[in-house]
Structure formats: C-alpha cells, structure tokens
Amino acid sequence: MLDLLDRLLPNIGRYPLWARALFLSTIALVLASAGVYAALYNDASARLERSKVSLTITSVLTEEDARNAAEVTGGPALEGPFFATTRLQVDGAGYERRIPISQEVAPGKTDSFEIPLAAAASSRHRLTVRVLAGAEPAGAPRELELDILVPRPPAG
Amino acid sequence: MLAIIDLLERVAPRLEFYPGWAQALFTATFVAFVLAVVVFAALYPSRRGSGEAAER
C-alpha cells in the first residue's frame, strides 16, 4: 500500500488543477459518506426491522415434484437454508422475486421456511406465490394480499 | 469473496432506509469515485510520460 502511494503521489502533483480538485472532492465525499453512514446506521437498521413481515406457506410435494427437484439439484441439498430479506417494491407492478430454496423434502412430507419480506414504506401488495420443484410448479399458485405497515419513527 | 458478498448484503438492504439527503450523498460519492477513477486512468499515461520527459 505504501509503495502504491509512493508511486501515485508524485504523479498526482502533475495532474491538472481540475483533476486534483476532483480527487480531493471525492476523498471528502467518501469521508462524509462514511461518517453519515455510521451516524445513521442504527436508525436505518431500526427502520429495516420495523418494515419486516413474514408469511407462512405450506406446500406438500408429490413424488413427481421430488423428481423434478432432484433433476435440478443433482444431489442432497444443503441443510438449514438462510434467506436474505426479500424487498417488495412500494410502487412496483408486474415484477417477480425468485427465492431459491435448497432443501431436501421427502415426498408427502413438509418442511418450513421463514422468508422475511420488507418494503421501504407502508404499502399494499397483491402477490402470487408459486412453489417450483426444479422448473416445474408444485401445486397451484396462491393469491395473497399483504398490507405492510411501517411505523413512523418516534418524534425527536 | 464471501466476506465482500456478506458486507454488500448487510449494507444494501439498509441503504433505502436512510434519509433522502443521505442517499443523495451516497450516490454523489459513488459517481464522484467512478469519475475520479476514470480521470485518473485517462490522464495517467500522459502525466507519467511528461514526468519521465522532464526527468531526462
């Protein structure tokens, strides 16, 4: 790193004034952004937590579903899937979110997954939930209406 | 690589929950950073060349 700086600094002095002003402004912006990011991190995290909701959907897989899934996964699936928060669009329409599930479920058995959903603001969502085993649908799609309430942060 | 992906997953979900002015600041920083890298790379050969010429 020091060697890199030694190589760069002498050359920076030879750049035009406007370019050096750009470099200096960029450094100032990076420092300001890092400071703002750190200062507001707890507030942003609290808003993120308040915006989370969760759904529970149960789908019983058939023998054919298991075969379809095995064609794609090609072997035993991972244990204990972790799902990152799926963000829904506040003003979106006709978009799709795919959530890969890598888990082995025996035919006729059920398993449960918690998939956190979030939206940036209070909003109403009409969802069509499809469970796919491999590339084939497992069971009929489920129509859901979801109201997400994001409380305002306390005043002050 | 996994650490970088984990960091992005931790940072990205929170960005939209920052105030608008903070998001504008982050965007301006990103744009300025990209612009600075481009300018630095575009002018680097000529700056280095003129420096070597001056040393001769």
The residues facing A86 across adjacent strands are A117
Average pLDDT of the segment spanning A36-65: 72
Question: What's residue A100's pLDDT?
Answer: 78
How far, in Å, CA of A11 to CA of A68, rounded?
Answer: 60
Q: What is the pLDDT of residues A60-112, one digit of tens each?
A: 556 665 565 555 545 444 444 566 777 888 888 889 888 877 666 666 666 67
Q: Which of B17, B26, B43, B46 to mutate to test the interface with A (most CBs of A within 10 A)?
A: B17
Set of chain A residues whose Cβ sits within 8 Å of the Cβ of B36: 22-23, 26
Can you give the residue ranges of every domain in chain A? 2-39, 51-148
Q: What is the pLDDT of residues A2-35, one digit of tens each?
A: 566 556 667 777 888 898 889 889 999 999 999 9
How far, in Å, CA of A91 to CA of A49, rounded?
Answer: 20
Instruction: Please give, rounded to a whole number of angstroms, the shortest distance from the CA of B56 to a CA of chain A.
Output: 16
**Higher-pLDDT residue of A65, B52:** A65
How far, in Å, CA of A37 to CA of A41, rounded?
Answer: 6
Q: What is the pLDDT of residues B3-40, one digit of tens each?
A: 666 666 666 778 878 888 998 999 899 999 999 999 98
Please tell me whether the overall predicted TM-score, pTM, comes out greater than 0.80 for this model. Answer: no
Nearest 5°: phi and psi at A68?
A: -60, -45
Candidate from A14, A26, A36 with C-beta closest to B25: A36
Question: What's residue A40's pLDDT?
Answer: 93
Q: Three-state DSSP class for B1?
A: coil
Question: What's residue A131's pLDDT?
Answer: 80
> Chain B, 5-24: which have a CB under 8 Å from a chain A CB?
9, 13-19, 22
Task: Evaluate if residue B55 carries a pLDDT over 50.
Answer: no
Average pLDDT of the segment spanning A127-135: 80
Question: What's residue A150's pLDDT?
Answer: 78
**Higher-pLDDT residue of B33, A129:** B33
Angstrom distances, CA of residue B27 to CA of A92, A138, B32, B39: 22, 42, 9, 18
Concatenate the DSSP letters of all residues of chain A into one string. -HHHHHHHHHHHTTS-HHHHHHHHHHHHHHHHHHHHHHHTHHHHHHHHHHHEEEE-------HHHHHHHHHHH-SPPPSS---PPEEEPSS--S------------TT------EEEEESSSEEEEEEE--EETTEE-S--EEEEEEE--PPPPP-
Can you give the residue ranges of every domain in chain B? 19-56
